[in-house]
Amino acid sequence: MIKCPKCREVEFVQKSGIVRGKQRYFCKSCDYHFTLPEPPNPTEGKRHHQVTIMDIANQLGISKSTVSRALRGHTDIHAGTRKMILDLAQQLEYQPNPLANALLKSRTNIIGILVPEFRHYFFPTIIMGAQEVLSKAGYNVMICQSDESYETEVTNVKALMSSRVDGLLVSVAAQTNNVDHFRAVLRKEVPLVFFNRVCPELETPQVIVDDYNGAFQAVEHLIEQGYRRIAHLAGPISLLVSRLRLQGYLDALQKHNLPVENGLIIHYDLTEEKARIYANYLLSLPQPPDAIFAINDPTAIEIMLVAKSRGVKIPQELGIVGFSNDPISSIIEPSLTTLEQPVREIGKQAAHLLLHQINADVSEWKPVHQVLKTHLIVRESSRKEKVTNEPA
């Protein structure tokens, strides 16, 4: 009944256990184990067989190598053959499979971008800038957001690394104190560039703006406008950008011989709720500040809303300055004084630095620190002296 597929005998075949649910046989004659091959199921064919280089080769009766050469634009090929291949490829809507290529070359042409959030104007704009130069260079981007959480950031970095991105563009989360996950990236020699929220302890390229001078200008402007008790709603001390802006604030006070009150300096985690809470706290002090320099525009906006809800008059009773020139700062009333920074340019520069790292050998990597200029835009929220421009 059962015929040995090797010696074609029947009589020497005997049962020999069951493997994975299928009866196995043993042919004593030719000492051969076997199971009956199942007839292939014709109902379930290939899902959607993407047209490959082999389809073209078979259809044309040539080899895959030749097709590859034609598609790659190699010289080693007859003009007629090339045309034939190119025509058929177009007709079949052939699209090269980037996975095979990526596997072979171990590069995916994907760049990972990791930002704390992208609800506001700032990070989306940076991403747009980066995307502009990256897509020109033939790269796609994969965007993740850490939500300011250290754990999420670690998870995201791992996910991006496991996706084998060719490089990483990162702005670190507010809660991040440990940068081992970025060290792991560098250990695997994957190019890494920071922007805005950078890691000074790591030897990587980074793009920031002149945070110190920006903050200095902002606070000096407030002082010149006559404000004297200037508070600073700062970012977490772990971020360099927070420390730099804080230093600018401190030095501006010092230059003008104003006392530093620690109670007027608040570090917070950059969440909306906390901004509101601390704004309320500051304004309900027995001696409330007469101005607040905020780490960024969303923070400044929150402060402004709290002040308005408490009936505090801006800029008469409270001056406010933000940072970044979010479009909303010119829309809100009173309009917000802020520091303009070339947001889109930050993304472009970061992308350029990253591309440079990618195309260079690891030994040539240079931790370039790019610093872009800021520019103070004075609007209503800090213009105490309304008469400046009027004739005497």
Nearer to DNA, 100 or 285 (CB): 100
Nearer to DNA, 71 or 372 (CB): 71
According to the binding rule CB under 8 A, does residue 143 interact with a second copy? yes
According to the binding rule CB under 8 A, does residue 376 interact with a second copy? no
Number of residues this chain uses to bind a second copy (CB under 8 A): 45
Name residue, tokens 């493997």. 19
According to the binding rule CB under 8 A, does residue 162 interact with a second copy? yes
Q: Which residues bind DNA (CB under 7 A)?
A: 14-20, 24, 26, 32-35, 37-38, 49-50, 52-54, 61-66, 68-69, 71-72, 76-81, 94-97, 99-101, 103-106
Nearer to DNA, 105 or 287 (CB): 105
**Long-range residue pairs from 116-119, CB within 8 A, at least 24 positions apart, any chain:** 116/145, 116/146, 116/147, 116/148, 116/171, 116/172, 116/173, 116/174, 116/197, 116/270, 117/145, 117/146, 117/147, 117/148, 118/143, 118/145
CB of 83 to DNA, least distance (A): 11
Q: Do the bridges between strand 375-377 and strand 369-372 make them parallel or antiparallel, or are there none, so unpaired?
A: unpaired
Distance in angstroms (rounded) separating the CA atoms of residues 193 and 211: 18
CB of 191 to DNA, least distance (A): 18
Q: Which of 34, 118, 281, 365 is in the footprint of a second copy by CB under 8 A?
A: 118
Distance in angstroms (rounded) separating the CA atoms of residues 289 and 260: 12
29 binds, among DNA, a second copy, none (CB under 5 to 8 A by kind): none
CB of 11 to DNA, least distance (A): 13
Task: Indicate the Cα dihedral angle 258, 260, 263, 265, nearest 10°.
Answer: 100
Using omega within 30 degrees of 0 as the cis cutoff, is the peptide bond preceding 39 cis? Answer: no
Distance in angstroms (rounded) separating the CA atoms of residues 371 and 359: 22
**Window of 57-65, 157-165, 257-265, 315-323 that interacts with a second copy by CB under 8 A:** 157-165
Distance in angstroms (rounded) separating the CA atoms of residues 258 and 277: 26
**Long-range residue pairs from 135-142, CB within 8 A, at least 24 positions apart, any chain:** 137/355, 138/109, 139/109, 139/110, 139/111, 139/166, 140/109, 140/110, 140/111, 141/110, 141/111, 141/112, 141/113, 142/110, 142/111, 142/112, 142/113
**Residue pair 265/232 in contact by the 8 Å Cβ criterion:** yes
CB of 121 to a second copy, least distance (A): 7
| Token couple for 81 | 């053959």
Q: Which of 103, 237, 285, 360 is in the footprint of a second copy by CB under 8 A?
A: 103
According to the binding rule CB under 8 A, does residue 316 interact with a second copy? no
Residue 375 backbone dihedrals phi, psi, to 5 degrees: -150, 125
Nearer to a second copy, 38 or 76 (CB): 76
164 binds, among DNA, a second copy, none (CB under 5 to 8 A by kind): a second copy
Q: Do the bridges between strand 22-27 and strand 32-35 make them parallel or antiparallel, or are there none, so unpaired?
A: antiparallel
According to the binding rule CB under 8 A, does residue 273 interact with a second copy? no
238 contacts: CB under 8 Å, gap ≥ 6: 174, 175, 176, 177
According to the binding rule CB under 8 A, does residue 48 interact with a second copy? yes
CB of 315 to a second copy, least distance (A): 16
Nearer to a second copy, 41 or 106 (CB): 106
Nearer to DNA, 69 or 369 (CB): 69
According to the binding rule CB under 8 A, does residue 128 interact with a second copy? yes
By three-state DSSP, how is residue 14 classified?
Answer: strand
By three-state DSSP, how is residue 363 classified?
Answer: helix
Nearer to DNA, 86 or 258 (CB): 86
Nearer to DNA, 97 or 316 (CB): 97
Q: Which of 22, 28, 119, 366 is in the footprint of a second copy by CB under 8 A?
A: 119
According to the binding rule CB under 8 A, does residue 185 interact with a second copy? no
Binding footprint of a second copy on the chain (CB under 8 A): 47-48, 50, 93, 95-100, 102-103, 106, 108, 110, 118-119, 121, 124-125, 127-128, 131, 135, 140-143, 145, 159-164, 184, 188-189, 301, 305, 328, 331-333, 362
